[in-house]
């Protein structure tokens, strides 16, 4: 008797689990029915990110680097699945290399972005990079996998938790990437992936009062209205400046300056 294949169900990735959209809606993309996230799903994803943030931010930089390296291992192990939903093996290899590259920066950020500052007085003055908090990311359409990784990796390596709006046109790469996250050592809630319509989800994230920064790299148009809404709680608004750079990490960090009396 011939068996029927088990077809893949393309769901959201929130808090380390794969729920369907609470609305039950889907939309067609790349020949598949993909979950169409709602405002409620956005709120759930932000709540999951906020819950995961303290533990991830409080982990040692070395540990975060090792966890991201493990993520790269999972991507390598699923290379054929990833290649099937992006431009091919070369894009997967570049994305894996990018995760490894950013993982290597985890314990080097304080030395490069921070330091000891000269002051005219009997004080020590230190600048220390700290994560911003919960970051919303609007993933670019191209390349499907590489564009997503280029925004997620620099955001999480510094200790942030993220909510990603996957490419509306090419969401399958984001879902496969989420499965790599789920099988790595990355704590649930550090990376949350929503699929659906950018025009519905991006404004909700921009207006959400518990989102600390929003990356508009993948936004269609100039994003002026999203910037205006984001200003309501003084969100940091960023866009990709370099393909791969420690300064991409710096865009998702706050620099805290601490004064301390000498000899105290």
> Per the structure block, which two tokens stand in for 107?
């314990």
Per-residue pLDDT of the chain (264 residues; tens, 9 = 90+): 889 888 888 999 999 999 999 999 999 999 999 999 999 999 999 999 999 999 999 999 999 999 999 999 999 999 999 999 999 999 999 999 999 999 999 999 989 998 888 888 888 888 999 999 999 999 999 999 999 999 999 999 999 999 999 999 999 999 999 999 999 999 999 999 999 999 999 999 999 999 999 999 999 888 999 999 999 999 999 999 888 999 999 999 999 988 888 875
User: What pLDDT score was predicted for residue 264?
Assistant: 56
User: What pLDDT score was predicted for residue 242?
Assistant: 84
In CATH terms, the superfamily for domain 26-261 is Aldehyde Dehydrogenase; Chain A, domain 1 (3.40.605.10)
- φ, ψ for residue 162 (rounded to 5)? -125, 150
The answer to whether 106 and 68 are in contact (CB under 8 A) is yes
Distance CA 97, CA 75 (A): 10
Q: What is the DSSP string of 210-225?
A: T--EEE-TT-SS--HH
User: What pLDDT score was predicted for residue 263?
Assistant: 72
The answer to whether 218 and 141 are in contact (CB under 8 A) is yes
Please give the radius of gyration of the chain, using alpha carbons only, rounded to the nearest integer.
19
User: What pLDDT score was predicted for residue 59?
Assistant: 97
User: What pLDDT score was predicted for residue 126?
Assistant: 87
Q: Where are the domains of the chain?
A: 26-261
DSSP single-letter state for residue 25: -
> Per the structure block, which two tokens stand in for 144?
């499907």
The answer to whether 164 and 194 are in contact (CB under 8 A) is yes
User: What pLDDT score was predicted for residue 49?
Assistant: 98
The answer to whether 98 and 150 are in contact (CB under 8 A) is yes
DSSP single-letter state for residue 86: S
The residues with which 255 forms a beta bridge, in sequence order, are 129
């Amino acid at each position: 008797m011939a068996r029927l294949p088990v077809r893949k169900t393309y769901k959201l990735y929130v808090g380390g689990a794969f729920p369907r959209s609470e609305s039950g809606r889907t939309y067609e993309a790349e020949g598949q029915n993909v979950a169409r996230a709602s405002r409620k799903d956005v709120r759930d994803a932000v709540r999951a990110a906020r819950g995961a943030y303290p533990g991830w931010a409080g982990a040692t930089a070395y540990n975060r680097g090792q966890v991201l390296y493990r993520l790269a291992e999972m991507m390598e192990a699923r290379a054929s699945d990833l290649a099937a939903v992006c431009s091919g093996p070369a894009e997967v290899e570049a994305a894996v290399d990018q995760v490894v590259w950013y993982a290597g920066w985890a314990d080097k950020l304080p030395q490069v972005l921070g330091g000891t500052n000269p002051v005219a007085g009997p004080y020590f003055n230190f600048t220390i990079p700290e994560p911003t908090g919960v970051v919303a990311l609007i993933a670019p359409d191209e390349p499907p996998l590489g564009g997503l990784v280029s925004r997620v990796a620099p955001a999480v390596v510094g200790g942030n938790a993220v909510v990603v709006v996957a490419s509306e046109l090419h969401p399958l790469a984001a879902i496969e990437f989420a499965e790599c996250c789920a099988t790595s050592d990355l704590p649930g809630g550090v990376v949350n992936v929503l699929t659906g319509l950018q025009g519905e989800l991006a404004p909700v994230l921009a207006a959400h009062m518990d989102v600390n920064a929003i990356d508009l790299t993948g936004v269609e148009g100039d994003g002026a209205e999203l910037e205006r809404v984001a200003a309501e709680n003084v969100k940091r608004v960023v866009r990709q400046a370099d393909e791969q750079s420690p300064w991409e990490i710096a865009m998702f960090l706050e620099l805290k300056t601490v004064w301390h009396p000498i000899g105290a």
